[in-house]
Each structure stands twice: as structure tokens, then as C-alpha cells.
Structure 1
Amino acid sequence: MPSLSTAADLPRDFTDLLDLDDADALLSQQGLRTPFLRLAKDGQVVPERRWTGGGGVGATITDQVRDDRVAEHFADGATVVLQALHRTHAPIARFAAGLATDLGHPVQVNAYVTPPQNQGFASHYDVHDVFVLQVAGEKRWRLHAPVVTDPLRDDPWTDHRDAVAARAAEEPYLEAVLRPGDALYLPRGWLHAATALGEVSAHLTVGVHVRTRAALVEQLARLVLDDPALRETLPLGVDVTDADSLAPHLQATVAALVEGLGDVRAGTVAERLTPGALAGNRPAPLAPLAQAAAVRGVGPDTVVRTRPGLAHVLRDGGERVELVLADRRVGVPARAREALLRLLTGEDVAVYALPGLPPEDAVDLVRRLLREGVVIPTDGLPADGLPAVVPAVGQPDA
């Protein structure tokens, strides 16, 4: 169910994440391109060609945000949507990476900046959970119960426009005004619309892309499709529109599914889910030039730390240990396992303190992990730091 928390209920406000000055800087100084920005007015998206243009001399692009055109549309009542701020704004990137680590689900963050007395989008629902964080001004929210319970990612509200419009015309389940520092939780599927009140209003939407049991069903279906019995062509002439004609083939298919699923191990499904799970959020940025210098200068006194927000899984494999990342696997000898585990704790670690390895092997291990972007030199961390993802250790076929 939705829930509302006022600033008085919360231990902090959200001014460290984004304010209106930050939004102006992003729009005018960061060279944003589509799709990192959208404009919307009265429920309709403003075509990109009306507020983008060429980047000028030396920039052979045609879709750079034009701040003067954005200013015109904003003055005319358009809502500015800064998309994927977890990729373009450092404070939110750090916040999103830490939150994704805590929740175990991928996180995205958008910002919606709306002129006074305007509404950017009509009532709709999202296919992911949302936390609304009010950062400036006031915005009135109207919530209605779902027309689709727990919608999946391939079940957007646009497939149910009439039902959404009818539900939105009813009395709202909740109507509330959010002020700076207030927060609102919206489970996926809940209809919502927001209108700015007497001044410019800005809020962040933290989208949590929750994983569901439907994802397990998809993987199970892919696994059993390796069964030849399920790949067979239905007999020529079968009428799939006739229940009596279809019944024996459906029964045979169900029997093959039950038999195929009976031998599926959790480790097999986990292995298939791992790439997508690790790719859900990118880790915190690293400084390429400083990283290269650290690779060249690594020695026994070098202090490193796991790259913040790095999603990874550690797999034991006899004589080798594999560190599974979103886009690759890093294999090291089994004798380096304890040293690798120490490096993946998220704490500052000196090379000379790595257990189980002679000094020259410890240097080689850290040099390789620096090169792979798994660890970073301690002085490359942001001042507030971020926790690293604790690795899962296990056998693929457990």
C-alpha cells in the first residue's frame, strides 16, 4: 500500500541530492543529450526536435539539449524531466548505488521539475516501485487503486488507457500535498498524478525495479525448451482453435513440462539469472587516469578498496576461483581465494596485509584487479564513500 512520510518523520531532507540550482546546471552546463531529458505538458511529451539542436563547432551531434528552448517551454508550462540522474549527477549516483546495494534490486532516479499550477503527466502507473522525494516547492498528489495488480514490465499503463482514465475519474484513495523533505512510497501499479502548486516544484522519483517470481518462470521456461519433446512440431492439420483437437497435445506438453521441471536445481537457475542481476546497476565511476597510474605504481604499501557499488558473485571451481562481473569473469588461482575475499569486503586493504599470498603474488593480484576495475586506490573514493556489494559464494550447480 502507498505510504506518506513527512519531513518531520525522516532523519534527513534531500537537499544534498538535488536542488533547483543543480537542475539548472545540468540543463545548461553538462552538455546533456537525449534521452537524458524529456519535456511534457498536459500529459503529452514535447517532441525532441523542439528543444534540441547541434552542439556547435567541434561537436558533430544533433540532439544536444538547448537551454534557451528548454527555458521557453518551461515558461510555457512544460515539466522538465531529468532522466537517469544516477548516471549524470554524482550525488545521486552515489545515493542510487548504495540504495541498490541495500535493497538488492536495481535503482534508477529521475527528477521532475514543474512550473507553478501545472501538471506534466496525466494519471498513470509505473511497472516498478517508486519513492517520491520532494526537494523543492509543493506538489499535490492524487492516488488511485490499481487497475492491474502488480503489473510486470511488459504490461505498461498505455495498454489499459480506458481503465486507467475511468479509475482516475473516481474519488482518489489518497490526496496529499508534498512539501520539501516529504516522501511518498508508491507500489507498482498504483495510479498517480501530481500538480505543482504556487511555485516551481521539484521531486525525485527513485524507481526500484523489483525482481519477481515471473522472472523465475521465464528462466524455467527457457530451461525446459531444451527438451526435444517440447520442440516437436504439432501434427499437420491439427486445429488449435478446437479444444478437443488440442487437448491431447496440451496434456503431453504439460507432462513434459512437469518432467523437465522436476530435475531443475536452484543453482542452475541462479547461474542463468546472474548476468542480468549483475548488470542492473553500474558501479560508481572511477577515474581512468588515476586508475592507470595506480596500476603502474602498485606496491606492498598500496591501499585499495572494492569499487563502490560493484555487483559481483564469487564462484569456487576447484583449482580456480571466478569473480563473476556483469560483463566478464575474472579467474584467479584457488590459493588467492582468501586474499580475494579480503579485497571484496569493501574495507581499505593494504597489499602487504593480504592473507595467503607471498608479497609478489599479492602485488600481481591487486594490479590485475585494478586493471579490471574491481578495486580502486583509496584516494579515488568520494569523500562519503559507498559500501561494496557483499559477494555470494557458492557452486553454480548447488
Structure 2
Amino acid sequence: MRYRGNPPTLELSDAFYARYWERGPVHVRNAAPGRFKELFDTAAFEELLDFGALRSGFVTVIHQGRPVAAELLCREPQDVGGVEHDDLVDPQALTPYREQGATIILACLQLYSRQVAGLAQRLSDAMRCDVEAHAFHTPASTHGLAPHFDGEPGFLLQLEGSKHWTLHPPLTDGLPIQGGHPPIDWQPDETLTQRFTVEPGDLLYLPRGWVHYADTTEQHSLHITFQALLNLERDVILDRVEREVDEAVRKEDVLPVVPEDGPSALAAHVRVISAKLAAWADELEGSGPE
């Protein structure tokens, strides 16, 4: 796992997949000394917030480890082109929380940063799934999110400041596909705990399901996490089956009411669909998953 500039690219080797993928975190020191800031920095972060056009879904405030209700962050309804918007984030509403050490998250940064979008797209092409980028800004000497786990793997690029990360193995053998928090009575096994101090230019891989939380040092921290939205095997298969059914069977066709004709009509369709799915399986074996 390494970072390359020109254009910014995150490369995942066969060795990475064989040794670390969904098995454990990886901390790469000095992956890009001074280069991550070319992607994004605090000035760009503040400019996006101050512009005042971000909707509540793109801005999350984490205060005392938990998200602040979105309605507390929005300005008075604004008329834009004849359409009233009541979910535009008010930059001034963020100030009291930020003064109390809140973390601000800008979600889906790839939608409004050309450089970040390019890196996300190249990672998406390599992993064959969608990738989202989220920026996290945390003041000095504070905590971020409470202990939690994600349903997606993340690749964290530390842009500014440092963070102390604490990671615990997944709570269950089956890795989750949705994020969550450990039970209230959760007692981690300290012998399995991993800790990292991530510095500017460092890269950290966070497997899905690993419980994690972080604290900043005497400086603020800014990092971007690229989350891979993995394709579920079940969904990929169901999508393909549905596509083949749509091609083989017209929506207007009804099952014959004559008893002896009904099963045979279905059997013909099933054979056609089965043949196409078998051919797809051969393609997958020869070229890898879609």
C-alpha cells in the first residue's frame, strides 16, 4: 500500500490484500511527506464552510463524541431560484461547538474538490466499487468520535496535525456491513489493542468492523478518509439475475392457467436464464469479479 503523486493515486498491492485486507490495520509513515496538503488543507476546509451553501447532509458536528442534531445547525429558510431551502448550514451556528472542541466532518468531499475527486475515482477504479471521501477537522487536545466501527474499510490520509488512534478487533467474526457502537458494557481485550500516532503525510488503513477512536495532540488535526463502499455479493448476483429475467421474460407474460402448460413454460425461461448465468460464471472465473 503506497501513495503516488502526479496524479495523486493510492496503490494497493497483491501483498497488501493477502496480508492485511480485512485482517488488520496498516500504518504507513511518511507515505507522502508534505504532499497530502496539495489535495486539501484547512484553508479550503474553512472556505467551504464559510461559503454557506452546504446542506446539512454534507456537514456533521461531533460534540462530546456524538453528532449534533442537524436542525440546530441550519439557518433560516432561504429562497434559491424560487425554491425554499431549510437545510443550509449556518457557519455561525458551528462556532459555539467548535469553541468547545467539536469535530467538524465534511462528507462526500469528492463532489466539490477536483483533486480529491480524482484520487477517489482512481481508487474506485482499482477496487471496482464506489469510493467516498470525508474530511475531519478536530481542534487541538480534544477527542473525536466515541468508540465506534464502520461497515466500510477506510484509507486515512493525515493532512495536518497529529492524532493518537486506538483500534480494537471486530466484535464478531462476521464483519459488519453497517457502522455502529460497541455495547455499553463492552470491555476490550487490551492484549489485542493497537495504537498509532498518525503524523502529517502518514497513511492509515482501517479495516471495516474494527472499533476505533482518536485524540488530537497540541495541534488541530485535519485528515481525509476515503471509504470504499464494497459491493455485496448478494446484491451483485441479484442484479444480474434480475437483468437476465428482464431479457428472457416479458412483463406482460402470465403463467398459463392450463396445469400441464404452466411448469413447462417456466422451465423454458429458467433454462435460458441458467445458461446465461453459467456463461457469466465462466467470465468471472476468467477475469475476476465485476
Both structures adopt the same fold (TM-score exceeding 0.5)? yes
Give the counterpart letter for 2:180 in structure 1. W
Q: CA deviation at 1:182?
A: 0.6
- TM-superposed CA distance for 1:186, in Å, is 1.1
* Shift in Å, 1:210: 2.2
AA in 2 matched with 1:202? L
CA distance in 2 between counterparts of 1:123 and 1:45 reads: 13
Q: Alignment partner for residue 64 of structure 1, among 74, 88, 98?
A: 88
CA apart distance, 1:214:
3.8
Whether contact under 8 Å (1:132, 1:203) holds in the other structure is yes
Paired residue for 1:204?
224
CA distance in 2, matches of 1:90, 1:119: 30
Superposed counterparts of 1:302-321, under 5 Å: none
Q: How many residue pairs are counted as aligned between the two chains? A: 238
User: For 1:343-382, what aligned pairs fall within 5 Å after superposition?
Assistant: none
For residues 12 and 150 of structure 1, do their structure 2 counterparts lie closer, same or farther at Cα, with a shift above 3 Å needed? farther
8 Å CA contact retained: 2:179, 2:209: no
CA separation of 1:266 and 1:180: change in aligned 2, threshold 3 A: farther
Structure whose CA Rg is larger: 1
Give 1:57 deviation, angstroms.
6.0
Deviations 1:253-300 (A, max 9, x none): xxxxxx989756255689xxxxxxxxxxxxxxxxxxxxxxxxxxxxxx
1:213-269 alpha-carbon deviations (Å, 9 max, x no partner): 34345458869999xxxxxxxxxxxxxxxxxxxxxxxxxxxxxxxx98975625568
Partner Cα separation in structure 2 for residue 172 and residue 55 of structure 1: 50
TM-score, structure 1 as length reference: 0.53
CA distance in 2, matches of 1:63, 1:206: 25
Cα distance in 1 for partners of 2:34, 2:281 equals 40
Given the alignment, which residue of 277, 280, 286 partners 1:265? 277
Q: Residues 363-382 of structure 1: CA distance to partner in whole angstroms, max 9, x if unpaired?
A: xxxxxxxxxxxxxxxxxxxx
- Structure 1 residue 173: deviation in Å? 2.4
Corresponding position: 1:35 with 2:47: no
Report if the CA contact (8 A) 1:216-1:269 is conserved: no
| Alpha-carbon separation, structure 2, partners of 1:11 and 1:266 | 49
Q: Are the structure 2 counterparts of residues 21 and 11 from structure 1 closer, same or farther at C-alpha, using a change threshold of 3 Å?
A: closer
* 1:90 CA displacement: 2.2
Task: Return the offset for 1:106.
Answer: 1.0
Q: Alpha carbon RMSD of aligned pairs, Å?
A: 3.4
1:13 maps to a residue whose letter is R
How much identity, in percent, do the aligned residues show?
24
Structure 2, gaps ≥5 residues long: 1-23, 247-269
AA at the equivalent of 1:25? E
TM-score (norm 2): 0.70
Partner of 1:113: 137
Runs of 4+ in 1 over 2 A off after TM superposition: 9-13, 54-60, 148-153, 155-158, 167-173, 210-226, 259-264, 266-270
SS at match of 1:64: coil
Structure 1: distance between partners of 2:174 and 2:241: 21
1:195 lines up with 2:195 in the alignment: no
Amino acid paired to 1:41 = H
Deviation for aligned residue 1:199:
1.6
Give the secondary-structure state (helix, strand or coil) at the position aligned to 2:165. Answer: strand
- Is the contact between residue 33 and residue 202 of structure 2 (CA under 8 Å) also seen in structure 1? no
The aligned counterpart of 1:97 is 121
Amino acid corresponding to residue 53 of structure 1 in structure 2: R
Alignment of 1:294-333 (within 5 A): none
Identify which of structures 1 and 2 has the higher relative contact order when contacts are C-alpha pairs closer than 8 Å and 6+ apart. 2
Structure 1 spans left out of the alignment, 5+ residues: 227-258, 271-391, 393-398
In structure 1, the partner of 2:44 is 22
Cα gap change, 1:64 to 1:266, in 2 (>3 Å): farther
